[in-house]
Amino acid sequence: MIRRSLIVLLFAAIAVAGTAAAQSTGGVLRAGMQADPVGLDPHITGATATRNMLENVYDTLVMFDSSLQIVPGLAESWEASDDGRTWTFTLRENAMFHDGSPVTAGDVAFSISRIKDPDVASPRGDDFAVVDSIDVPDDRTVVLNLAEPFSPLLSKLAHSLNVIVPEAVVREHGDLQEVVVGSGPFRFVEYLPQTRMVLERFDDHWATDADGNALPYLDGITFQFYPDPTSRTTAVQTGAVDWIEYVPAADVDVLDADPEVEVVGGLSANFRSVYLNVARAPFDDPHVRRAFSYAIDEQAVVDLALFGTGGVPATGTTIPASNHYGVRDSPYVGRDLEAARAEMAASSVPDGFEFDLYVTTTYDFLRTPAEVVQANLAEIGVTANIVAEDWSIYLPKALEGDFDATILGESGQSDPDDFLFNVFYTDNGGNLGNYSNPEVDVLLERGRQVSDPEERREIYLEAQRLILEDAAHVFLFHSSQYEAIRGEVRGFEHFPNTSYLGLRTTWLDR
């Protein structure tokens, strides 16, 4: 008898604990994340996980909005000199760090210098390589003096790991791995590895909405970690969390069909393509590269290899079509077997050839397209042998350019320079296929120096026309990214650059 009532008691306890407490305002968002942060110091890491959890704890000088336009951040205004080499930023009067100290021009100068500092070894040290010196005429004015005009500067400053940190705190503690002090809308409370990270509303944050209400709306955010994609999907379906990141492509339709859950997202700022190694025959022959571009069906790659939801077919080069600088009418869109065969006939290998298509097994979206590519190429008499290896073996080889062809990509933010300079400029780090076209180099350099958007657009469209003519890559698709939210979550906006700044305007309606 006693045993039975114990069991009843246990079930009652389970039932009570399962009912969430009712809330009327703000609310604490429970967010299901894919991975733990890789260290907490934003300047030292390049990890998206760290960025996504801390970008609302810190602020940047300028920010992206959800359409990837630059808007004021800690700087309320800025201007560039006519020669484009002197940038003056004016800080907000009411910006404060979580320890109560004001955000000063000195902190801004310290932060940019810290990212540049070779001893800090920030993966984004090169972002500000062009910054020669920084002047701080008063507490609210920062002047960046550039060695040469550099129009992507605002885009680099808006990167949400290039945040402004308090100089005094870093000097006291050496780094920001243990002590987390920012000026963002949420205060860091605690981090328990593989369990949770807790953020709490910072009441003195400078931002307000259009009606003058203080931001953020949420009382707090609790990030919980679900590395297994099925657990993450189940967690949002059962209401164990209110919001999840990285909905697996295979689950997008499942969650969309759930009346309690909404899937938001889509195109993200990145590209995936087949890199052809121009230093190796027959890929030195533009006819072969063009034949590949005509023969491969981007839509089939997305439909067959990515469940139709995992990506958006490329319509131009590395820049997504939605971007102001994107190309929307590449001649290679869709399949043109006739054109592909004509290019093959005119090439150095009219009877076809065999090559190794080198891919990684670690990321599905970089491996599964290989099979579609292989099948497409078979129809123009080319045999692709797929060689697949673990990321840690694959990457060093790929970085050294030790491949015939490989499937890889990079992420950008919104500036065209993010997508083109590293990948196509002669001898650059991301130019793994050894592509080189002096005309393209000149255009990419000029694009960095011109600031007028229309003039820049002309330059970048011309550069991309040349890149397409050379068929430097076979441009496949842009990965999509989805978040899933429960019905009670309001005001969340998806950002197409892997950023969760949308949480600043989110609230829970319970």
Partner 1 sequence: MLIFLGRRVLLAVPTLLGVAAIVFLLMRAVPGDVVTNLVGLEGNVSVERMAELRRMFGLDLPVHEQFGQWLAAAVQGDLGSSLRTGRPVATDLALRFPVTLQLTLSALTIALAIAVPLGVVAALHRGRWPDGLASLIALLGLSVPGFFLGILLILAFSLELRWLPPAGYVAFSEDPVENLRHMVLPALSLGLVLAAATTRIVRSSLLETLHRDYVRTARAKGVREGTVTVRHALRTALIPVVTVVGLQFGQLLGGAVIIEQVFSLPGVGRFALEGINLRDYPVVQGAVLLIAVAFVAVNLLVDVAYALIDPRVRYG
Q: Which of 208, 279, 345, 391 binds partner 1 (CB under 8 A)?
A: 391
Dmax (CA) for the chain in angstroms is 89
What is the rounded distance in angstroms from the CA atom of residue 233 to the CA atom of residue 210?
A: 34
Nearer to partner 1, 5 or 213 (CB): 5
Chain centre distance of CA 219: 27
Q: Which of 5, 24, 213, 392 binds partner 1 (CB under 8 A)?
A: 392
What is the rounded distance in angstroms from the CA atom of residue 140 to the CA atom of residue 134?
A: 13
Is there binding between residue 383 and partner 1 (CB under 8 A)? no
Is there binding between residue 395 and partner 1 (CB under 8 A)? yes
Neighbour-count burial for 26-45, b at 16+ CB within 10 Å, e otherwise: bbbbbbbbbbbbeebbbbbb
Is there binding between residue 38 and partner 1 (CB under 8 A)? yes
Is there binding between residue 174 and partner 1 (CB under 8 A)? no
3-class DSSP assignment, residue 408:
strand
What DSSP string describes 193-226? TTTEEEEEE-TT-S-B-TTS-BS---SEEEEEE-
Nearer to partner 1, 309 or 413 (CB): 413
Please count the residues of this chain forming the interface with partner 1, following the rule CB under 8 A.
46
Q: Judge contact between 31 and 243, C-beta under 8 A.
A: yes
Chain centre distance of CA 394: 22
Q: How far is the CB of 291 from partner 1 (least distance, A)?
A: 29
Q: Which of 2, 22, 193, 351 binds partner 1 (CB under 8 A)?
A: 193
Q: How far is the CB of 14 from partner 1 (least distance, A)?
A: 6
Nearer to partner 1, 186 or 365 (CB): 365
Is there binding between residue 487 and partner 1 (CB under 8 A)? no
Considering only residues 223 through 242, tell me which ones interact with partner 1, judged by CB under 8 A: 224-228, 230-231, 234-235, 237-238, 240
Is there binding between residue 194 and partner 1 (CB under 8 A)? yes
Q: Judge contact between 285 and 277, C-beta under 8 A.
A: no
Do you find a cis peptide bond into 216, omega within 30 degrees of 0? yes
Q: Which of 79, 172, 211, 400 binds partner 1 (CB under 8 A)?
A: 400
Nearer to partner 1, 422 or 451 (CB): 422
Is there binding between residue 25 and partner 1 (CB under 8 A)? no
Tokens of 297: 């069906």
Is there binding between residue 346 and partner 1 (CB under 8 A)? no
Q: How far is the CB of 369 from partner 1 (least distance, A)?
A: 15
State which amino acid sits at residue 172. Answer: E
Q: Which of 286, 352, 430, 502 binds partner 1 (CB under 8 A)?
A: 430
What is the rounded distance in angstroms from the CA atom of residue 252 to the CA atom of residue 233?
A: 9
Tokens of 177: 């791995």
Nearer to partner 1, 285 or 410 (CB): 410
Chain centre distance of CA 47: 10
Q: Which stretch binds partner 1 (CB under 8 A): 66-74, 129-137, 193-201, 488-496?
A: 193-201
Q: Which stretch binds partner 1 (CB under 8 A): 84-92, 150-158, 389-397, 465-473?
A: 389-397
Strand 383-389 vs strand 354-360: parallel, antiparallel, or unpaired? parallel
Considering only residues 361 through 380, tell me which ones interact with partner 1, judged by CB under 8 A: 363
What is the rounded distance in angstroms from the CA atom of residue 243 to the CA atom of residue 116?
A: 35
Q: How far is the CB of 71 from partner 1 (least distance, A)?
A: 24
Please provide the distance, in angstroms rounded to a whole number, between the alpha carbons at the two ends of the chain.
Answer: 40
Instruction: Give the containing element (helix H, strand E) for 190.
Output: strand 186-192
Nearer to partner 1, 71 or 393 (CB): 393
Nearer to partner 1, 281 or 395 (CB): 395
- The binding site for partner 1 (CB under 8 A) comprises 13-14, 17-18, 36-40, 46-47, 121, 123, 126, 175, 177, 192-195, 224-228, 230-231, 234-235, 237-238, 240, 363, 390-393, 395-396, 399-400, 410-411, 422, 429-430
